[in-house]
Amino acid sequence: MSVRLRGTDSAIQIRWIPKYTTLERFLHWVHTATFIPLALTGFVLFAPFLESVAQGASGQHIRLIHRIAAVLFGGVPIIYTILQPRRMLMNLREFLSFSKYDLLWAKAAIPFYVLGRHHDMPPQPRFNTGERMTAVVMVLGTITFGITGLSMWFLKAAMPVFLFQLMVIIHDLMFIITFAMFMVHFYLAVIHPMMWQSLVSMRYGVVSESYAREHHAMWYYGEKRAKEMWEQRHAEGEH
Amino acid sequence: MATRLAMFIDTSKCMACRGCQVACKQWNDLPAYKTENRGSYENPPSLNHYTYTRIRFNEYDDPERFQWLFLKEGCMHCTDAACVDVCPTGALKHGPYGIVTYERDLCNGCGYCSQFCPFGVPHLNVPSVAAGTPDLLGVTGDEESTSALAGLTGEAKSAKCTFCQDRTTNGLKPACVKTCPAGALDWGDRDEMIAKADARVQTLKSELGYPQANVYGKDQLGGLGRIYVLKAPAEAYGLPEDPKYPVMSTVWQKFLQPVGQIAFGATIVGAITAFFVARRNVNMEEVE
């Protein structure tokens, strides 16, 4: 797919590479639109300084919103698995494959994202280390929220109190972890000046060729070629 | 805080007439409902949203004789009250005279109090087969009776004994104490109630032949608002000898809450700071 910039006859041509299916983008937005209200309504019951919001009818509505959002949130992976099982498995497999390049990424990430130093950034597959970490945490989080949330919802009276208490603690702990991850993800995807294309890709499903080359070399060139290029660049850089 | 008041409960004088249960329902305007005969005089089968106090019937076969032990159940008004700590709305509070007060309007029905109370006292107004609470949806006369969808929506209110907070904070005795015909109940300064209980235990031990008699409630959970005179060990009454403040409440309140709030704030501040640093350092001409 290529786009001709309007108003210019020649010059810039951008090649766009498809990254996400329509369903993936739609479900990702549903995920976003439910995670945020879930975090906010959950936080009301969690933080004592929001006591006045949690009281009486207002608190009752907040608990109801939390439940409705939770059902939609939990429905996302289920619908995805039913409609695009192969894509789901492919992504899951990619999320779970880590290598030594992820350690290099971790080292280079702060200079790269904070100071804009590109040189030490190792090649990354279709999802970079941070994205894969976020994805893994979100998958684990969804499973944990599902188990603990449904237990607290439906088994309040049936389960031993200690188990219920444990569910509350695990639910809250997972909230802290996923929320921290979400903030990093949100920052890099929406706010960070360098990452403007991530929002474009979540809207249109594509990234530009140059972006893919820069940020996802293993995906663009193939793993072998990307690694060779990295070794070469590194060898040159050290001399 | 002003004087701490407490309820004195002498189980050796209780005859299980359950006048206290009736007086409680009358004063607190709680509806009655049908129960099944379970082969016991004990009724209803457990404390619930409409029953703040109840006489529990315990059969105790000690080496010397068979005893029928009657325990007046209800909120213990603990000094270290987990329900107050976990309540996210402030509906449950430490009120005057050491009473754990309850403000129904503020309650949002989350049910944490019912799950963190070491004595299992607060109950929501939703039917619960497992907790032995009968189906109360048919109860009439309760304006706030929950809808049939309550199990899904979570619509609920909690309830528990408040030592008749509207009476006791105005210098009256709780309704149950006022009505008790056996003289098993009393209400007053906590130290006086403890002294009275100690004296009664002495009498039970030395004169009436109850060597296992003891006082319950003096030190448990920082001191309870109920001072019991027991004829037998606490376990025989179904009371925990040494009730524990739930560990999970401590983990939640003292660790997770501060950590979560700091994390919530820190990530937001961090993202904003990182944005300005990145905007200053990143050369946008190189950005693909």
Q: Are residues B171 and B110 in the same domain?
A: yes
B152 assigned to some structural domain: yes
Distance from first CA to last CA of chain B, Å, rounded? 67
Fold observed for domain A84-239: Fumarate Reductase Cytochrome B subunit (1.20.950)
CA dist B260 and A47 (Å) reads 8
More confident residue, B101 or B283: B101
pLDDT at res. A237: 65
B71 assigned to some structural domain: yes
| Residue B257 belongs to domain spanning | 247-286
pLDDT digits (tens, 9 = 90+) for B118-138: 999 999 887 544 444 444 444
* Sites in chain A below the pLDDT cut of 50: 239
CATH classification of the domain holding B80: 3.30.70.20
Q: Where are the domains of chain A?
A: 21-83, 84-239
Q: Are residues B124 and B259 in the same domain?
A: no
pLDDT at res. B147: 57
Q: Are residues B160 and B229 in the same domain?
A: yes
Q: Are residues B136 and B79 in the same domain?
A: yes
Helix, coil or strand: residue B215: strand
Contact check, Cβ <8 Å, B286/A211: no
Partner residue opposite B155 with nearest CB, options A55, A60, A176: A60
Q: Are residues B229 and B272 in the same domain?
A: no
Q: Are residues B151 and B259 in the same domain?
A: no
Contact check, Cβ <8 Å, B256/A176: yes
Q: Is A69 exposed, middle or buried (0-12, 13-18, 19+ CB in 10 A)?
A: buried
Report which DSSP code applies to B131: T
More confident residue, B158 or B140: B158
Q: Are residues B39 and B133 in the same domain?
A: yes
pLDDT digits (tens, 9 = 90+) for B54-70: 999 999 988 778 999 99
Tell me how crowded residue B258 is: count the other CB atoms within 10 A of its CB: 12
Token pair, residue A13, equals 């041509």
pLDDT at res. B142: 42
Q: Computed over its alpha carbons, how large is the radius of gyration of chain A?
A: 21
β-strand pairing of B5-10 with B226-230: parallel
List all residues 6 or more positions away from B107 whose beta carbon is below 8 Å from its beta carbon. Answer: A56, B89, B91, B157, B158
Main-chain dihedrals φ then ψ at residue B18, nearest 5 degrees: 65, 25
Q: Are residues B81 and B197 in the same domain?
A: yes
Q: What's the gap in Å between the CA of A158 and the closest CA on chain B?
A: 5
Residue B161 contacts residue B101 (beta carbons within 8 Å): no
List all residues 6 or more positions away from A39 whose beta carbon is below 8 Å from its beta carbon. Answer: A175, A179, A182
Q: Are residues B121 and B258 in the same domain?
A: no
pLDDT at res. B138: 44
pLDDT at res. A146: 96
Q: Are residues B176 and B252 in the same domain?
A: no
CA dist A50 and B257 (Å) reads 12
pLDDT at res. B2: 64
Lowest mean pLDDT among A61-65, B159-163, B164-168, B273-277: B273-277
Q: Are residues B280 and B218 in the same domain?
A: no
B206 assigned to some structural domain: yes
Task: Please tell me the total count of domains within chain B.
Answer: 2
* Residue with tokens 């207002």, as numbered in its chain: A58
B242 assigned to some structural domain: no
B109 assigned to some structural domain: yes
Please give the ipTM for the structure prediction.
0.85
What is the pLDDT of chain B when averaged over all its residues?
A: 88
Element (H, E) at A217: helix A217-221
Beta bridge partners of B120: none
Q: What's the gap in Å between the CA of A195 and the closest CA on chain B?
A: 9
Residue B160 contacts residue B28 (beta carbons within 8 Å): no
Q: Are residues B277 and B224 in the same domain?
A: no
Q: What's the gap in Å between the CA of B165 and the closest CA on chain A?
A: 20
